[in-house]
Structure 1
Amino acid sequence: MTEPIDVLVRAADAGDTYLAWRWLDDVGQPRFEVLTTAAIEPALTALADALVHRRAGERGTDAAHRALTEGAFADVDRERELARLLTDAVLPPGLRAGIRQRIAAGQRVRVRLTPSPRLAHVPWDLLCVDDDDRRLLEVAEVVLEPPATVHAERAILPEPWPDVRDRPPLVIVDPVLPMRAGSHGLGQVLDRAELDRFAERVDEYVTAGRMPVTDGDQVVHCAMDRVELSAALRSPRSRLFYLGHVTSSPDEPGSAAIHLNDTVAEWGMAAPLRFPGRDGDRLDRDDHRPFAALDLLMGTSSADRETWRRYGFDEARLGHELWPMPQRVAVIACEGGADYRSAETFGLVIAMVNAGAALVTTTRWTLPADRVFRSAIGGFEAQPTTELALRVDRAHEGLDPIGELAEWQRGRLREWRSRGELADTPLVWAALTHTIAPLKQPAVVGDQQPEQ
């Protein structure tokens, strides 16, 4: 297969938003466009209204019901209008023309994008490249890239995929959380039917010899904490797959966290989730502590000796030493890719890249759980979010996970256009993002891209 022609797209917010792009087959001609706030805000507001985004006084389930019944992603025509509105707002005509020119010449195109916080939720794959409703997904590969400083200063360089692909994966599906976490809306993600599908998938791994039997017993709805996660990751792994809860606080990128079976008994950088209504500073031993991006970066640097010993060390260790990331990581949860939402690009994705990941697949916005589809739509039997997660899991086993998932998304787009059923809504499958950070950065001219 021929190497793609890359276009680097970088966005920055400074009052207005500045979008710059450079084709790597024409490096002497960088281009830019100013996206004025007045021009892009109506499109971004329309996008926010289409997503699972809680309004004042609204519960999360109510927001999901509204998105599935009233939002733009609930109707083919409204989704097409939203895509065109976003295209006109954030994808400059000159960039679209460059993409069409290279596609017409029979070239493959890869868009290497670093969005600004204002553009972090934009589903770039759905944007239109012409007036015939061709989407970027149909003609190009879209990947996210962390800032160059992340590449230059990362603690662990990833190993090549061919060297690690035969190692067992680490799969964590809907882990059990401390009971008090439920008071903060962090309940079980999957119902019995979805859990059974993942259990079948794990059985396939065990039967094929891809996963030890002991691992197979600790995958679906397991009670794993951060200490056990550390032990599991320090055993050689090909990849990590996590399906569960991710939360983050606005303008606090280091607060982005996955949720495991951790209480305040486990030391960590994230503040525990206190029982609602409790007065004063008193903590209860059952209060839940999230496992945050700051933990994954800083490790036990400010902890005591007893904490060090729990991880098997006699001194403080940084996060990449305690939780080294395998070559590929998938985090399928509520807005796992919140990194790009902050002016300081840092969160779980960047922390995982720093700890050794070459590819991190996650989601750019909150996904509705399958049970929400069923409660919002009578007689609904599909499992769109579970299907997405299983597709990611399978693709991460293969040679070209980004390409495989893009082909699956194209199929979903065709079904969406032809049938218009919510089982195929882009609200689910268009949420996927892929952050790439290979062993070395893709070359500007001439060199081949390392295998992901």
Structure 2
Amino acid sequence: MTYTIDVLVRAADAGDTYLAWRWLDDVDQPRFEVLTTAAIEPALDALDAALVHRRAGERGTDAAHRALTEGAFADVDRERDLAGLLTDAVLPLGLREGIRSRIASGQRVRVRLTPSPRLARVPWDLLCVDGEDLRLLEVAEVVLEPPATVHAERARLPELWQDVRDRPPLVIIDPVLPTRAGLHGLGHVLDPSEHHRFAERVDDYATAGRMPVADADHVLHCGMDRVELSQALRSPRSRLFYLGHVTSSPDEPGSAAIHLNDTADEWGMATPLRFPGRDGDRLDHDDHRPFAALDLLMGTSSADRETWRRYGFDEARLGHELWPMPQRVAMIACEGGADYRSAETFGLVIAMVNAGAALVTTTRWTLPADRVFRSAIGGFEEQPTTELALRVDHAHESLDPIGELAEWQRGRLREWRARGALADTPLVWAALTHSIAPLKPPAGVDDR
């Protein structure tokens, strides 16, 4: 009988990076390896060069064009070389050997990883287990685990999927933002040519009775703000799907934010995005206030009574009370999983786990929009980023969303190897991450 063996992998940066792992079928034999800065920095620099990563004076669209035309993820051979370079830098031989030996004996492997800030962007699924021919994705399931304290101290425990699966999902696709948000590069993520696929998906939900009429009318380009989000989440939901913008400031994990139709008039802990170059302290109504991880954690604890009443309360409420997260959450947005890039692991993912999510699927780096593919490559007709979003949405309705998405990714890897077409580039599908924090933590979750 085939069964799954878990390996706990934990990383910590302290000058060099220390990577420790322990197999749960051999718990008395923990192992570790020191990844020296000198050894891993060239590989991480090569990864950054392959991503949609702005250089000094460069616009976001220029960075995306460069990634799609010159970067390692634009070419099969260069991507394979990058995967090999990253493997040698961050995946110890002893861990690779342990994976290979268990696969050879007919076991399945699940890698439960808590990365360090330095390793947060590494596409672990693409790393090589056996030379350049076998990727970790092909033989194992890779999930991210928040630190043990997040499991132990969260404010709201998740429900079981079987108990909530018949509830309607809350779907927010490309929400309308206040006027000034566009001056900060926060325009629509979808072009009109991409709307119909999401509209069809919404129609499918409505036809199947999975979505209230009121929701179906406000999924695409809705003007939802944080108060309306609170109202929607406080009705029974199976899951939350958000496709839009996520931003964060370096070294400020609490600043990680999704963007809704919130103006500067809306109370919140994030600094509003103002008219570029404006002096003074005066805020304009059209300035945009992001909905930050700190809001989702702290709620209205430092707000006034008028703000409390807007949410229907006569006193302050914490974030998990105002925005209780359903069992599953998906954020298909730029770097939604920035939590793991901070020394103190906190951001939107951890705030959502604290508020009740058992699974948060998001992306570890910036995705190129479909229109950027078309502008960079003549005659390009596919919609890779739209396809990714729809696959996640479908999978989150299933019994095993992580397994279903992993199987889809394996198919993309096969196509990438066979055709080398940019429609199959790992720059899109390898960005996915899954942070898990179930009601009952898996065995070993409290291990250090």
- With structure 1 as the length reference, what TM-score do the two structures score? 0.98
How far did 1:213 drift?
A: 1.2
How far did 1:196 drift?
A: 1.4
- Quick one: distance in 1 between partners of 2:305 and 2:325? 24
* Deviation by residue 1:282-322 (Cα, 9 ceiling, x = unmatched): 11111000000000000000000000000000000000000
How far did 1:2 drift?
A: 4.5
User: Which residue of structure 2 lines up, in the alignment, with residue 167 of structure 1?
Assistant: 167
Gaps of 5+ in 1: 446-452
User: Which residue of structure 1 lines up, in the alignment, with residue 67 of structure 2?
Assistant: 67
- Structure 1 letter corresponding to 2:259: H
Structural mapping, 1:98-113, within 5 Å: 98-113=98-113
- Quick one: distance in 2 between partners of 1:2 and 1:39? 37
How far did 1:444 drift?
A: 3.5
- Structure 2 letter corresponding to 1:277: G
Structural mapping, 1:167-186, within 5 Å: 167-186=167-186
- Structure 2 letter corresponding to 1:440: K
Q: Which runs of 4+ in 1 moved over 4 A?
A: none
User: Which residue of structure 2 lines up, in the alignment, with residue 38 of structure 1?
Assistant: 38
How far did 1:323 drift?
A: 0.1
Structural mapping, 1:210-221, within 5 Å: 210-221=210-221
User: Which residue of structure 2 lines up, in the alignment, with residue 449 of structure 1?
Assistant: none
- Mapped pair 1:403 → 2:407: no
How far did 1:3 drift?
A: 3.8
- Quick one: distance in 2 between partners of 1:348 and 1:146? 12
* Deviation by residue 1:73-93 (Cα, 9 ceiling, x = unmatched): 000000000000000000000
- Quick one: distance in 2 between partners of 1:132 and 1:322? 48
- Quick one: distance in 1 between partners of 2:109 and 2:226? 40
User: Which residue of structure 1 lines up, in the alignment, with residue 362 of structure 2?
Assistant: 362
- Quick one: distance in 1 between partners of 2:282 and 2:444? 55
Structural mapping, 1:107-146, within 5 Å: 107-146=107-146
User: Which residue of structure 2 lines up, in the alignment, with residue 78 of structure 1?
Assistant: 78
How far did 1:278 drift?
A: 0.5
Cα distance change of structure 1 residues 333 and 315 upon mapping to structure 2, 3 Å threshold: same
User: Which residue of structure 2 lines up, in the alignment, with residue 156 of structure 1?
Assistant: 156
* Deviation by residue 1:16-44 (Cα, 9 ceiling, x = unmatched): 00000000000000000000000000000
How far did 1:11 drift?
A: 0.2
Is 2:84–2:132's contact at 8 Å kept on the other side of the alignment?
no
How far did 1:214 drift?
A: 1.1
Is 2:80–2:132's contact at 8 Å kept on the other side of the alignment?
no
User: Which residue of structure 2 lines up, in the alignment, with residue 339 of structure 1?
Assistant: 339
User: Which residue of structure 2 lines up, in the alignment, with residue 22 of structure 1?
Assistant: 22
- Mapped pair 1:87 → 2:87: yes
SS at match of 2:397: coil
Is 2:2–2:106's contact at 8 Å kept on the other side of the alignment?
no
How far did 1:132 drift?
A: 4.5
SS at match of 1:129: strand
How far did 1:358 drift?
A: 0.2
SS at match of 1:404: helix
- Structure 2 letter corresponding to 1:39: A
- Quick one: distance in 1 between partners of 2:133 and 2:83? 9
- Quick one: distance in 1 between partners of 2:56 and 2:281? 28
- Quick one: distance in 1 between partners of 2:365 and 2:440? 29
SS at match of 1:264: coil
- Quick one: distance in 1 between partners of 2:444 and 2:341? 27
Structural mapping, 1:436-451, within 5 Å: 436-444=436-444
User: Which residue of structure 2 lines up, in the alignment, with residue 266 of structure 1?
Assistant: 266
- Mapped pair 1:378 → 2:396: no
- Quick one: distance in 2 between partners of 1:227 and 1:250? 27
Q: CA RMSD in A?
A: 0.8
User: Which residue of structure 2 lines up, in the alignment, with residue 287 of structure 1?
Assistant: 287
Structural mapping, 1:218-367, within 5 Å: 218-367=218-367
Gaps of 5+ in 2: none
SS at match of 2:129: coil
- Quick one: distance in 2 between partners of 1:225 and 1:210? 23
SS at match of 2:409: helix
- Quick one: distance in 1 between partners of 2:440 and 2:185? 40
- Quick one: distance in 1 between partners of 2:442 and 2:193? 42
How far did 1:193 drift?
A: 1.7
How far did 1:376 drift?
A: 0.2
- Structure 2 letter corresponding to 1:177: L
- Quick one: distance in 2 between partners of 1:132 and 1:359? 31
SS at match of 1:61: helix
Structural mapping, 1:383-398, within 5 Å: 383-398=383-398
* Deviation by residue 1:194-226 (Cα, 9 ceiling, x = unmatched): 111101100000000010111100101100000
Instruction: Give the number of aligned pairs.
Output: 445
- With structure 2 as the length reference, what TM-score do the two structures score? 0.99
- Quick one: distance in 2 between partners of 1:228 and 1:336? 21
- Structure 1 letter corresponding to 2:264: V
